[in-house]
Structure 1
Amino acid sequence: MTKFELNILGCGSATSSLMHLPSCQVLNVRDNLYMIDCGEGAQLEMRRMKLKFSRLNHIFISHLHGDHCFGLPGLLSTLALLGKTGSITIHIFQDGAVQFQGLLNFFCRNMPYELKWHIITPHKAVIYEDDAFTVTAFPLRHRIPAVGFRFDEKPKLRHIVADQVKRYGVPLYFMNSLRQGRDYVTPAGEVIPNAALTTPADPCISYAYCSDTAYSKRVVNAVRGVDWLYHESTYGDDCARQAKQRFHSTARVAATVAQEAGVRHLILGHYSKRYTDDTVLLQQAREVFPATILSTEGMTIDLNQV
């Protein structure tokens, strides 16, 4: 299995509390780090969780509310002080790029790494792709333009069965073709089925991040079938009316999205500071979607465990 881990750095809502920090996550894919939102406290939590700053090259900002991006200038400054080289790309709305660049021009001149701004729009689109996965941004339903992010692993290669390969004398140069699923033809013309020489590839994992948003059929369709869904659950049933007014979700709404989208696992987060016991949110969500867990700072989830 290739490494595909989700690290929770912050899962609170608008303000920090003694229980939770503002939104921030880090995906670890094959020891490359991808940050999702960057609330205050992000860099401190990275140190606590022993996540290597040098491995961070992409940051995805869902929208321009402070609890999702106020940690960005401090983190970028720290990366400069640490002597980071290469580049780092911030995927963000145009207004955010303008405002943060102005701030960095004043406080962080002569950075040792290249800072790139990749402008996203509140429309569904693939915004990043490499050999391992694709990242799709899709519109959320919030008070200001906001997007969720969906991470989909690309198809993986099959596993070679060493003793079978040796038995049939498969040459070294053909190994990659085997992993891609091709049959092997011996010098004598005998066709050896690929299934006799390899075992199936590991499953492709998918993860979606939805914060902040009210219920939306577009969101349901965007996250359909993912293995893991992080969905904001700012409020409980007691604040359903307030959630609707503020374009947020209750835990029950998050569970409804998970159920309708046919996801495997739901992760709750973005809790209002009014709750001193998050298990009430968990209980309400599990009444609709049993495969639900609570996020908390310092948690690492192995997304391969589906």
Structure 2
Amino acid sequence: MSFTVTILGSGAAVPTLKRGTTSQFVSCQQRSILIDCGEGTQIQMRKFKVKFQGIQIILISHLHGDHVFGLCGLISTMQLLGRKEAIIVVGPVGIKEFLMNQFKITGYYNGFPIDFRELEPETSGIVFEDKCVEIQTFPLSHRIQTQGYRINEKPGKRGLDKEAFDETGISTSYIQKLISGEDVVDNEGNIVKSADVTYSPKPTKSYAFCSDTAYHTPIIESIKNVDLLYHEATFTDHESERATETFHSTAKQAATIALKSNAKRLILGHFSARYKTLEIHKEEAQSIFERVFIPEDGELFYV
């Protein structure tokens, strides 16, 4: 099963003709996850052929408008199109009040259930888990409470070595236990070890999202060895003082976090609209960390 990230919006503060504000669609083990929902996110999803009615979980990093102003409209559209299934919305304290006040004032929402999971400041740990996926959160460093997220695949079942299994002569009724990693005892009292008749499952993958944040080394432990890292790079090094003042990061700082966390690949994003080209962002980041990507809106990344 594929694990992909579609960049719906990669700009900062305001939408432009080229870049929408922050939003990403993650597909992992048949789980559909939306991260942030800036203004115009549902237009971006239509443009890039993302089926938003299938979204099961929405992760909100913080309550600045360029990360949440599209949420009320998206949920309203889901309702208009007949959605009945519940949705999980995870975010900082205030996300429920923010959304429900809009619905109250407009007198509009009476649709499908919303399971709000509000995170207290400095929250770390698991915010969602099922048999296929685990989602962790960790605090970032910004002007208001901001959360990062890490999405981890869970290990799948082992693969059956049919030839080795046939040599045991035991019933096929034991297969499910064996590929689940359990040793079994047959009717004659013989022990058949799972490791002897199965293959290891494929390696699991992980994706981490870090936006918006100042350069913040405490996150390294939470994103260590991640396969794909998204880290904001609002500014180039020339604007490093501005980055510090506004609790944002430069491309070099994002690359340093990627290097120190032993990430496999790095996507930069949350670019200030003041930049007409992003070549300097890439050059500065690659001076520290080689595997750097500057995304276009709509670009698909395989984790």
TM-score in terms of structure 1 length: 0.93
Task: Note if 1:9 corresponds to 2:4.
Answer: no
Task: Note if 1:255 corresponds to 2:250.
Answer: no
C-alpha contact 1:140 1:148 (8 A) present in aligned 2: yes
1:152 shift after superposition: 1.8
The answer for unaligned runs of 5 or more in structure 2 is none
C-alpha contact 2:94 2:118 (8 A) present in aligned 1: no
1:166 shift after superposition: 3.6
Partner SS for 1:182: coil
Distance of 1:184 and 1:98 partners within structure 2: 52
Between 1:17-26 and 1:192-201, the stretch displaced more is 192-201
C-alpha contact 1:170 1:184 (8 A) present in aligned 2: no
Distance of 1:171 and 1:137 partners within structure 2: 44
TM-score in terms of structure 2 length: 0.93
Task: Note if 1:42 corresponds to 2:41.
Answer: yes
The answer for unaligned runs of 5 or more in structure 1 is none
Distance of 1:169 and 1:299 partners within structure 2: 50
Partner SS for 1:104: helix
Between 1:117-126 and 1:65-74, the stretch displaced more is 117-126
1:168 shift after superposition: 3.3
1:67-99 C-alpha deviation (Å, 9 max, x unpaired)? 000000110110001100121121122323112
Between 1:50-59 and 1:34-43, the stretch displaced more is 50-59
In structure 1, the partner of 2:63 is: 64
C-alpha contact 2:140 2:210 (8 A) present in aligned 1: yes
Q: How does 1:190-201 map to 2 (within 5 A)?
A: 190-201=190-201
In structure 1, the partner of 2:86 is: 87
For 1:213, the aligned partner's letter is T
Q: How does 1:1-306 map to 2 (within 5 A)?
A: 2-107=1-106, 109-122=108-121, 123-303=123-303
Partner SS for 1:38: coil
Q: Give the count of matched residue pairs.
A: 302
1:184 shift after superposition: 5.0
Gap change, CA 1:6 and 1:285, over 3 Å in 2: same
1:190 shift after superposition: 4.9
1:191 shift after superposition: 4.5
C-alpha contact 1:77 1:108 (8 A) present in aligned 2: no
Partner SS for 1:229: strand
Partner SS for 1:14: coil
Q: Percent identity?
A: 34
Partner SS for 1:152: strand
